[in-house]
Amino acid sequence: MPFTCVSLVCLLFFCACASMTGKSATSPDPEALFIEGTVEAEQGESSRTYDYRLLRPIERPDDGPRPLLVFLHGMGERGSDNLSQLRYLPTWMCSPEWRTRFRAFVLAVQCPDDEIWVASWDDAGTCRALFAVENAIEHLIQTEDIDPSRVYLTGLSMGGYGSWALAAHRPDLFAGVVPICGGGDPGTVERLRGLPIWVFHGTDDDVVPESDSVEMVSALRTAGIPVGYTRLEGVKHDSWTDAYRNEGAINWLFAQQKRP
């Protein structure tokens, strides 16, 4: 009997180890899956090099050009490690299910510590960091097998502001935009005419007031421009988890395509 008990314990131990090893071996590793790159951007007489990460799609023999998803991170992911910007959506896009379903390129440029995606929180104009994203998109369209009619833009918090600003600056680049808990310049909405947009914001956001999104949505609707808006009741600043994982924003984005 003692031998049997010990054998059973050993068997359970090795089964658990095998299970853990298998799980570790199959879990997505964003740092390994996303390749590193750099892009230059200028503003006025100053130039700077920005880091980015790119996830290439799972390829199939019958595949043609694939879509590109552009992600703009929040304040907390700024830096110079070329890694922090992979939090949230880029990491989730590494899941085997999503990689198989969407088979997309994913671009995540990192904004340095001393910059933000917009010129200021008040006017939400473009700045050099956003020019870097624009340059990276154009470079990748030229060098990778990307379908230019299926380029999508999304961002959260500071990246939500950046999404509004970049979409207004280059609406011709994108087939769809999902700004999450951000804000923009209502004076730019006419540039967004014809661009599919779905906005998300938590009603209890204690970092970026919901009114910032409401202002943009109201300006678009006043101008007769269709826009989707989802108010996440009782949700604070982390509205991106609901938006990306529970509310179908990613499925909606990948269903969009620019008309010729």
pLDDT digits (tens, 9 = 90+) for 137-158: 999 999 999 999 999 999 999 9
pLDDT score at 28: 82
Between CA 136 and CA 153 the distance in angstroms is 13
Between CA 96 and CA 76 the distance in angstroms is 27
* Tens-digit pLDDT profile for residues 202-243: 999 999 999 999 999 999 999 999 999 999 999 999 999 999
Element (H, E) at 71: strand 66-72
pLDDT score at 196: 98
Residue 226's nearest CA partner among 158, 176, 166, 260 is 176
* Tens-digit pLDDT profile for residues 160-215: 999 999 999 999 999 999 999 999 999 999 999 999 999 999 999 999 999 999 99
Domains along the chain? 32-254 (3.40.50.1820)
pLDDT score at 122: 63
